[in-house]
């Protein structure tokens, strides 16, 4: 059966069949969701709380919280007290959480992805990378599905041909490479040494970095870079540098 046949069958079977298939795939790919369903489905009040949420009668958790989905499951399961305590602990921990030169971990990940994309448009690059990740990590599929919906909604509402050309260029970028295999052959020299700095920061979180620390790490990767270029890179991305003299401590 061809791809066109698969798509045609899926679309002609109706929305219920597709919804059921998607629901089952989500349960299969998300062990935490399956466990949540097992623990709550026998609770008689669970159905009332679930109906209240689906009917829009229950206010959603904090949308700015990265754990919004987990909090929603706790809310429907009736664990309001557990949810409140979890929020309190997360807030407390976040105040003392290590930063990466003044950048949050999420901001650092975003910078890494932007540098990986290079001259490619970032949204198509992220979309292709997300689907490539699902080849080895099935738990990544729900996020990839939602990201795809957002991409197509935006694309079809705007300059669709341009967006699809960008998607094709992103796909060509990864053509022939194993999932996760991105190396210096995909970048120019400048992008590669900058990527090495960002990945070093990801592995060694601290409030500030010395230029000499970055220089030494790059030299170990056979990337001799002028310290002035490193300082300019740090200023551009608001990476906090430690100006104190002396040798940095080895990680």
SS3 for 52-107 is HHHCCCCCCCCCCCCCHHHHHHHHHHCCHHHHHHHHHHHHHHHHHCCCECCECHHH
User: How far is it between the farthest Cα atoms of the chain?
Assistant: 69
Q: Which H helix or E strand runs over 193? A: helix 189-203
Considering the chain, what percentage of its residues have pLDDT values greater than 90? 20
Domain boundaries, the chain: 3-96, 119-185
* Closest by Cα among 71, 115, 118 to 90: 71
The predicted pLDDT at position 95 comes to 45
Separation CA 31–CA 83 (nearest Å): 20
DSSP string, 98-132: PPBTTB-HHHHHHHHHHHHHTTS-HHHHHHHHHHH
The predicted pLDDT at position 239 comes to 94
Q: Are 101 and 234 in contact (CB under 8 A)?
A: yes
The predicted pLDDT at position 225 comes to 93
pTM of the model: 0.62
Separation CA 80–CA 72 (nearest Å): 10
The predicted pLDDT at position 29 comes to 78
- What angle do helix axes 227-236 and 189-203 make, rounded to 10 degrees? 70
Report residue 8 as tokens: 């045609």
**E strands, 99-217, where?**
none
The predicted pLDDT at position 93 comes to 45
The predicted pLDDT at position 6 comes to 73
Separation CA 82–CA 71 (nearest Å): 9
Separation CA 3–CA 208 (nearest Å): 51
The predicted pLDDT at position 44 comes to 76
The predicted pLDDT at position 220 comes to 92
Collect the ranges in the chain with pLDDT lower than 70.
1, 3, 7, 10-11, 14-15, 59-72, 75, 77-98, 179-190, 245-251
φ, ψ (nearest 5 deg) of residue 12: -80, -20
């Amino acid at each position: 059966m061809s791809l066109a046949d698969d798509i045609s069958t899926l679309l002609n079977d109706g929305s219920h069949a597709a919804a059921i298939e998607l629901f089952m795939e989500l349960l299969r790919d998300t062990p935490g969701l399956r466990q949540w369903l097992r623990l709550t489905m026998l609770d008689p009040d669970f159905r009332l709380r679930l109906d209240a949420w689906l009917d829009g009668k229950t206010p959603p958790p904090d949308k700015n919280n990265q754990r919004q989905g987990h909090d929603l499951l706790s809310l429907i399961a009736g664990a309001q007290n557990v949810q409140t305590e979890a929020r309190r602990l997360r807030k407390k921990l976040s105040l003392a959480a290590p930063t990466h030169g003044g950048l949050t971990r999420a901001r650092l990940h975003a910078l890494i992805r932007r540098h990986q994309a290079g001259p490619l448009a970032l949204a198509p690059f992220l979309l292709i990378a997300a689907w490539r990740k699902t080849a080895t990590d099935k738990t990544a599929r729900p996020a990839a599905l939602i990201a795809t919906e957002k991409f197509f909604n935006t694309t079809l509402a705007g300059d669709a041909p341009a967006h699809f050309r960008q998607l094709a260029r992103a796909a060509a970028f990864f053509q022939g490479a194993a999932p996760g295999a991105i190396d210096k052959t995909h970048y120019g020299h400048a992008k590669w040494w900058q990527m090495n700095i960002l990945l070093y920061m990801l592995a060694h979180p601290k409030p500030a970095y010395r230029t000499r620390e970055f220089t030494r790490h790059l030299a170990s990767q056979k990337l001799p870079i002028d310290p002035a270029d490193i300082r300019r890179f740090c200023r551009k991305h608001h990476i906090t540098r430690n100006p104190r003299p002396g040798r940095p401590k080895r990680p």
